[in-house]
Every structure is written in C-alpha cells, then in structure tokens.
Amino acid sequence: MDITNQIITRSAPAKLNLYLHIVGQRADGYHLLDSLFAFTQNGDEITVRGAPELSLEVTGPFAGSLAAVGGLNADNLVMKAALLLRSHAGIKNGAAISLSKNLPIASGIGGGSADAAATLLALNDLWQLDLSLETLSALALRLGADVPACLHDRPLHVSGIGEQIKASSLPKDYGILLVNSGEALSTPAVFQAFHADGYKPSVRLPCRQPKESADFIKWLLEKTSNDLQAPAVSLCPAIAPVMRDLSAINGAMMVRMSGSGATCFALFQTVSEAKQAQIRIEADHPKWWVMADQLVP
C-alpha cells in the first residue's frame, strides 16, 4: 500500500506517578521502582506522514525549551525512537514527524517518554510493520525506563526499572490539576540528593488498591508517598509554594509531586473542579504552567 498520503496522529499524554517508591537499586545503578502510573486525556501530540527521509518538526508552547537543550536532532527521543524502529525492522522508510510540544520538559510527567512511545506506535502503523506490543515494549525500554508504560496510556502498576507492567485501574475518572513553576529538574541530580539524604529502600506495596474512591484516596494519603519529593524540594525550593497553593484549594483531595519533579498535581472528584482551580492558580501565578484535565480510569 502506498503510504505517501497517509497521516497518523497519536496523543502523548502526561504520565503521573500517583505514588513512587524506590525499593532498591541494581548493581548497574538503575533504581528499582514501585509506582502507580496514571495518564491524562491530553498532552503532547505526534503526527507522522509518509516521506522519503526522516525529519522532525517541533511546534507548540515548549518547542523553544526543547531546542534550547539541543533536542531538535538525533538526540531527541522522538528521533531516537524512529531510528531504532527503522533499524529493528530493517527498512529504509522515511517519515515526516511533527511533535506538538505542549508539556514542559524535565518536569516529572514523562513528556519525552510519552513522545517516544507515541512515535513507536504511529510509525508502526504508518510503515505497516504489525509489530506486537511486546516487541514495541522491548524497543521502548532501550529508550528509557518510562517509555514501555507510556505505550499503554492507562493506569498501570509499574515495578523493576519500569519494564514490569501490570494493568491497573482507578475508581473513577478524577479531575486533575497539574502545576509547574517553570523550573526544570535533572532526574540524576534528584537521585543524587535522594542518596545524600540517607537512602533507605521503601516497602513494595501489593499490586492492588481499594476500589471505592474514598478508600482509594485514603490509601494513597496514608500508605504511599513520592520518595523523591523531599530531595527534589531541596534542589528546587519553588516546589514548596506550588504544593502549598494546591493544598489550599477547596476540593483538592490529594496533592503530590510527580516523578522526579518539579510538576505537582492535585486530585479532584471532577474535571470541572480542576478547571475552577486552574482559574484560581492562573490568576495568582500567571507565570506558572497550569493544566486541568481528566485521568483515564
């Protein structure tokens, strides 16, 4: 089939760590995780179309941030994903790839990982490779620990270094408000600070959680945490006022930092409540990045 006129679009939603426990470390330095991933409805977007060569165009509000760190070349995860997939398949196909970069970079919400996963899925369709999700997951792990999970776009219990994935679910489609003060955080630096604080492995939780919403939120608050939150705050004090302002919003059931930061989030019963909270935060802090959305249940 001629793919010259084919256009395929894939969403690359934000990934949230509803909790993140560091339960060990391998001899090669990789940390072992225990985490519940959840995904928003919206985020970045990948569009691919048939073309003689591979190319990447980046648009959107954070395109400039990506360019500023040298991300518009083969070091970009999107291009790495495309080159890796093409090499694995043994083909010479090209593609014009467009990335709408709507999520902040280096912000703990898996933007780059989601972009890479969406690229693998879109090009698998465009190039008619018919590769299984298992094969794509193996390739995704070579791109980063979070990339395999981002192939799914649904709640997941994640362990190992990110490669051990089990389907999970949320009690409902919670509203969520994501807020970032605009300061990027280096994941390696956060882990270094984590170890400097006196590393103690967390306890791995059972791969299940309460099914009723009230019990689920209580469980998150009482039994879980983000082990990287304190070291991240030590490196980026701007996280603290974000957390404080989110916690002060009426209806915010839980406030936490995601991943290695610096994005924080608040969970609400409905997306309408999250959107009302967005209006308040934007009025008080016009320079902060704010996104109200809904979690995939």
Residue 88 banded pLDDT, cuts 50, 70, 90:
very high
Residue 289 banded pLDDT, cuts 50, 70, 90:
very high
Give the C-alpha separation, 27 to 16, whole Å.
Answer: 27
User: What is the reported pLDDT for 153?
Assistant: 85
Give mean pLDDT, residues 30-48. Answer: 96
Biggest CA–CA distance in the chain, Å, is 58
Sequence spans of domains, the chain: 7-167, 175-294
Name 65's bridge partners. none
pLDDT for residue 66 is more than 90: no
pLDDT for residue 236 is more than 60: yes
Question: Hey, which residues are catalytic here?
Answer: 15, 146
Least confident range from 2-11, 98-107, 113-122, 246-255: namely: 2-11
User: What is the reported pLDDT for 262?
Assistant: 95
Helix axis angle for 111-126 and 133-141, nearest 10°, is: 140
Task: Tell me if domain 7-167 and domain 175-294 are identical in fold.
Answer: no
User: What is the reported pLDDT for 4?
Assistant: 63
Give mean pLDDT, residues 106-117. Answer: 94
Half-sphere exposure for 159 (CA within 13 Å, toward CB): 14
Q: Which numeric CATH code is attached to 175-294?
A: 3.30.70.890
User: What is the reported pLDDT for 2?
Assistant: 59
User: What is the reported pLDDT for 72?
Assistant: 54
Task: Please give the full DSSP string across the chain, using - where no structure is assigned.
Answer: ---TT-EEEEEEEEEEEEEEEEEEE-TTSPEEEEEEEEEEEEEEEEEEEEESSEEEEEESTTHHHHHHTT-SSTTSHHHHHHHHHHHHHT---EEEEEEE--SPSSSSS-HHHHHHHHHHHHHHHHTT----HHHHHHHHHTT-TTHHHHTT-S-EEEEETTTEEEE---SS--EEEEEE-S----HHHHHHHHHHTT--PPPPPPS---SSHHHHHHHHHHH--BTTHHHHHHH-TTHHHHHHHHHTSTT--EEEE-TTSS-EEEEESSHHHHHHHHHHHHHH-TTSEEEEEEB--
- CATH class of the domain whose range is 7-167: alpha beta
pLDDT for residue 205 is more than 90: no
Residue 70 banded pLDDT, cuts 50, 70, 90:
very low
